[in-house]
Structure formats: structure tokens, C-alpha cells
Amino acid sequence: MLTVHSLGLAIVFCTVTMIGWGSWANTQKLAGRTNWPFELFYWDYAIGILLFSILFMFTAGSVGLRGMPAAANIGQASSYAIRTAMLSGALFNVANILLVVAIDAAGMSIAFPVGIGLALVIGTLVTYREQPTGNAPLLFLGVALVLVAMIVSALAYRKLPRARSESWVKGIVFSIVAGCLMGFFYPELLRSLSADFNTLPIRPGYLTPYTALFFFAIGLVVSNFVVNTIFMRAGGRSYAEYFGASAKLHSFGMLGGAIWMVALSLNIIASGVAGPAISYALGQGATLVAAIWGVAIWKEFKAAPRGTTPLIVLMFIGYGLGLALIGLATL
């Protein structure tokens, strides 16, 4: 399997993660412009994640001299490792569907900062507790600044005229619940991995990053039959409507899923060098990327009253400084 040994390359991978995690939701925004409901979009998103995990497992996960080829690793994997990776996928799936609902209700500028901001804090704390790597003061100061930026972004969005609507309240509530759940999927996925997979032989019973990501995707898709079906029924959607859609509509969600899974894959691989807590925290800089998309491209603050701009500027400064400190924590 292919592994990373350069800290510089690991940081590049984490940066790609940040861009991917902060950008995939644009495919949902594009699909929404064609009145493609998020419940149906999300099926294609889940399928995109699964397809990329299979592709990655049988390419990068099956070549090279280090680690263990994917097929051999699956053959010796314990039920604990497989179950843990699948549970991580199911946990992420519930959180991410709620985040998608929040984006649909309140927009990227609020759903991402609140939901992913909470996930950043929880996930970093839990991951660092289990695998402490890097400069702790710099790491946690960076996380604190990102948290402040998240709060400022919510205050800025509060000034919008629709911020008093029922839709906005729904978006905030779903963002908070999604963030609390999403903070635990990453540490759970790491428990299925062989320790120091990029330098040491794969431990008996444990997974490589590539096979862990495959079982993660399986857990996500299987849980989707339960979770997303509930949302489909609540929204009056049917599977007949899904299968009757055009290839163009299906392509939005599959592209979004592939983008997100590329980002997670690179992040997990980079964690062997940068450390899981730092890799995850840098990746969740997606909040900054999503805020840029929401402000600059989708014009979600176009109707904001005077006095909102300083809050937006302060939000970007907080994210920028926080991510810089998290990056310095690797040195």
C-alpha cells in the first residue's frame, strides 16, 4: 500500500482535505438549483463515497512494498476492526445528513461554521486524548480561535433578515446536533487502524487506512437505508422519484461524495505522519473554505445590514490564525 513519510506532503494532504471538505457542499447547492431534494441528492452522495473507497482500496491500497495489500488485509481483519470502521461510517452518516438538512435550511455560511466548528473541537480533543501528538498549547489555542470564529460567524448570520425565520432556527439546531455527533466519527475510525501503519507492519486483526475507509463507506451506505429513508418519508419523497431522475442530477451527488471521500482518504493517510489530532483539526479548516464559498460565491450575506462586515472580517481572521497555529503545532 502507498504511505506518506514526509511531513510537508502530509500537510499538503491535510490542506487538500480542508478544501475538499469545505467545497463538496457546492454540489448540493447546484443540485438544489434544479429542485433536486437533498434526500435524493444524499443517496448519490453516499454512492459516490462507496465507489471512491473501492477504487482507492484496489489501487493505492493494493500496491507498494509497505503495509499489506487490501485483499490480504481484509482476509485477516478481526470482527472488532470491521465493526468499528462500519460504526464510524454510520455515525458520520447520521451527522452528515443532519448537516445537509442544516445547509438546506440556513445556508453554508452558518451550517458549516456551527456544525463543523463543534466537530472540530470535539474531534480534536477526543483524538488528542487517545493519541497525543504535536505541540498541545499551539494546537488547543488554534482550536479555541476557530471556535471563536465559529461564534462570530453565527452572530454575523443572525443579522440577516431571514435569521428570525423558522428555517434559520431549524438550521442552527440541526447544525449543533450534527457537530456533536460528527466529532466522534474520526476517533472511532482510528480505532480500527493498525498503529503506526506507515512505519510498522500491520498488526494482526487491524485494518490499513484503505480497507478501513472501505468498511467506513459500507457502514455509511447500510445506515443510509434507515436514516435517509426516514427523511425521505418525512419529505414525501419516493425511490421511484430517485430512479426516474436524469444522469445529470445523479452526477451532482456522486461528485460531492467522491470529493468528500478523497479528502478523508488523504487525511487518514497523512495522520500517520502529522498525528491524528492535527490532521483532523487542519482538515476541519473546511469551515473557512465553506465560509468563503458562502460569502464570496453564493452571496449569502448580500442582504446583511450595515455593521455586519466587521464580524465577517473578524470571522476570517479567527479562522486564519487558528489554522496557522494548528499547522505550527506539527513543528
pLDDT at 151 > cutoff 90: no
Q: Is residue 237 part of a domain?
A: yes
Cβ partners under 8 Å of residue 119, min gap 6: 95, 178, 179, 180, 182, 183, 284
Triad 151, 121, 41: Cα angle to 5°: 80
With contact defined as beta carbons under 8 Å apart, do 146 and 315 qualify? no
How confident is the model over 35-92, as pLDDT tens digits? 899 899 999 999 999 999 999 999 999 998 788 999 999 999 999 999 999 999 999 9
How confident is the model over 203-226, as pLDDT tens digits? 999 999 999 999 999 999 999 999
Only one residue has cell 513543528, namely 331
- Residue 313's alpha-carbon distances to 66, 153, 290, in angstroms, are 46, 10, 15
- Residue 203 C-alpha cell reads as 498488526
What pLDDT is attached to residue 265? Answer: 97
What pLDDT is attached to residue 67? Answer: 86
Q: What would the mean pLDDT of 3-20 be, rounded to a whole number? A: 93
Higher pLDDT, 215 or 99: 215
Sign of CA dihedral 330, 292, 53, 115: positive
Separation CA 39–CA 28 (nearest Å): 11
Label residue 108 by pLDDT band (50, 70, 90): low
Q: Rounded mean pLDDT of the chain?
A: 89
Higher pLDDT, 120 or 263: 263
Q: What would the mean pLDDT of 121-139 be, rounded to a whole number? A: 89
Backbone angles phi, psi at 194, to 5 degrees: -70, 135
Residue 285, SS3 per DSSP: coil
Higher pLDDT, 294 or 260: 260
Cβ partners under 8 Å of residue 43, min gap 6: 224, 228, 242, 253
- Residue 190 C-alpha cell reads as 482510528
- As for how many domains the chain has, the answer is 1
- Residue 42's alpha-carbon distances to 24, 99, 108, 312, 321, in angstroms, are 12, 11, 16, 30, 33
Q: Is residue 60 part of a domain?
A: yes
Q: Is residue 148 part of a domain?
A: yes
Q: Is residue 1 part of a domain?
A: no
Separation CA 319–CA 143 (nearest Å): 9
Separation CA 319–CA 239 (nearest Å): 40
pLDDT at 163 > cutoff 60: no
Q: Which domain holds residue 60?
A: 7-328
Q: Is residue 2 part of a domain?
A: no
- DSSP track, 33-75: HTT--HHHHHHHHHHHHHHHHHHHHTTTTS-SSSS--HHHHHH
Nearest to 199 by CA among 264, 277, 271: 271
